Structure 1
């Protein structure tokens, strides 16, 4: 998985795009006569804030049924839930609204900055998609079930696979488990493989029984080889593989039900869309 320190690559890309947008805004303002640079940069950052807010609200509305079932998940922006198709127009609309009348001089540099930021964001995501498609296929890890039967991860190939790396001592792992239990019922054509890292069968089984979780494919990895092979930088980690075993997405940290269903419906077969929206 690609990232910088504790931050996912997606968060880094957004931060860089915002920075480039701010630099572009101030650069355009510098080239225009009698143009104050600081107000232009401030307007750009205000537009970014309202754009992010609109994008988050739009995403929540899109997955309202899932968010209403767990209202606290609305504030967990680390799940990457943003409707950019709404946030970007909202940022432009805010700039237009704030630059009415005498402030119209600020409109051009702020709009130029937003355009630069959007272009940078789109290009970076396109590059990441190319890198992801060239990533190694789903590894043939030798694991075991909770009743100690040997099983290979490659045995799940031939259908979409969601691999989750977890441990019972990990609070975010514990919180997201019900989402995977619900998802496996809603997406029967997807294999949800929950690979426990570094614990014994008794520890994993005790946790599942205490929480009343009914997960179909819980595997044991006492040596945490999956974290090393899949280059996971922490727990929990969720990876998405298509039916050909190609990694098509990843998520580091706790994943919410709306984000999980969104990734499944976007990254896997279109036939899953109806099930993801139930």
Structure 2
């Protein structure tokens, strides 16, 4: 499942998992350190935000060619974080904080371990579920009016599926990145799947914005979004050449996230 609906909001499952893990860690640290006059919360939050900040810096450096301005680098809405760098930074910051606040070491260690354990178990479960997800054998109508099955369209190549709608501002903002990526990666099959809009609306949108994608499909019943648990748009899914889901991104996709997903899909 790519996202979970919480009231009117749709949260990506990795983000929700991180929030739950951090909340658990803070609660455990507070419980263990309840006899201390000083709370371990501030120290733990510094570890968290410091590690995420360092992970973001490394991600931006890895995909520097995908950013054209400082604002794009600072815009964290794409959630581009380097996992390895984040873990390393968390370990270093934890060691520093443990030494700095020796009296809170037990509470901080309990919080860090609780957060890490919860996030690791949740991530393992999400990854195990992802391993069973493949390119769905669903037949859709192309914007030109002919039926096509998704696996037949992929033809054994890595594939990128983008679920979008014409009324969605983030979808509109990411369209140029998707079009550029399709032109730069002829060995990858791009499928732009419109969610529950009629053919004339989609055709008018594509003409108005001069978007010339090779494969635009109509999902009038929302079958693809339902199959993958995408509780909103946009959503972008990356598949390896064997049809296995390599990674997924819920929300507006940036050039850097696209490049990361395509590279990973090609390597698997």
> TM-score category by the smaller chain?
0.7 to 0.9
- Of the structure 1 ranges 184-193 and 214-223, higher mean CA displacement relative to structure 2 is found in 214-223
User: Among 141, 146, 152, which residue is 2:143 paired with?
Assistant: 146
Shift of 1:171: 0.7
Deviations 1:70-108 (A, max 9, x none): 54433443423112322333334344445656x432345
Tell me which residue corresponds to 1:168.
Answer: 166
Task: Go from structure 1 to structure 2 and tell me whether the alpha carbon gap of 1:225 and 1:119 turns closer, same or farther (over 3 Å shift).
Answer: closer
Q: Is the 8 A contact 2:238 2:246 kept in 1?
A: yes
Task: Go from structure 1 to structure 2 and tell me whether the alpha carbon gap of 1:110 and 1:149 turns closer, same or farther (over 3 Å shift).
Answer: same
**What SS does structure 2 have at the residue aligned with 1:269?**
helix
Counterparts of 1:1-20 in structure 2, within 5 Å, are 1-5=1-5, 6-20=10-24
Tell me which residue corresponds to 2:180.
Answer: 182
More relative contact order, 1 or 2 (CA 8 Å, 6+ apart):
2
Q: Which runs of 5+ in 2 are unaligned?
A: none
Are residues 1:46 and 2:43 paired? no
Deviations 1:192-249 (A, max 9, x none): 1001223333322322232232311112233433333443211112222222323232
What's the TM-score once normalised by structure 1's chain length? 0.82
The separation in 2 between residues aligned to 1:241 and 1:198, in whole angstroms, is 23
The separation in 2 between residues aligned to 1:236 and 1:223, in whole angstroms, is 16
The separation in 1 between residues aligned to 2:181 and 2:52, in whole angstroms, is 27
Task: Go from structure 1 to structure 2 and tell me whether the alpha carbon gap of 1:114 and 1:179 turns closer, same or farther (over 3 Å shift).
Answer: same
The separation in 1 between residues aligned to 2:31 and 2:95, in whole angstroms, is 19
| Alignment RMSD | 2.5
Are residues 1:25 and 2:22 paired? no
Tell me which residue corresponds to 1:88.
Answer: 87
Shift of 1:125: 1.1
Deviations 1:11-61 (A, max 9, x none): 11111221232234334435xxx743x422221122212222222222122
Shift of 1:112: 4.3
Task: Go from structure 1 to structure 2 and tell me whether the alpha carbon gap of 1:247 and 1:89 turns closer, same or farther (over 3 Å shift).
Answer: closer
Q: Is the 8 A contact 1:92 1:111 kept in 2?
A: no
Tell me which residue corresponds to 1:274.
Answer: none
Are residues 1:155 and 2:152 paired? yes
Q: What count of residue pairs does the alignment treat as equivalent?
A: 263
The separation in 2 between residues aligned to 1:92 and 1:8, in whole angstroms, is 26
**What SS does structure 2 have at the residue aligned with 1:249?**
strand
**What SS does structure 1 have at the residue aligned with 2:40?**
helix
What's the TM-score once normalised by structure 2's chain length? 0.85
Runs (4+) off by over 4 Å: 95-101
Task: Go from structure 1 to structure 2 and tell me whether the alpha carbon gap of 1:129 and 1:229 turns closer, same or farther (over 3 Å shift).
Answer: closer
The separation in 2 between residues aligned to 1:55 and 1:174, in whole angstroms, is 28
Q: Is the 8 A contact 1:25 1:110 kept in 2?
A: yes
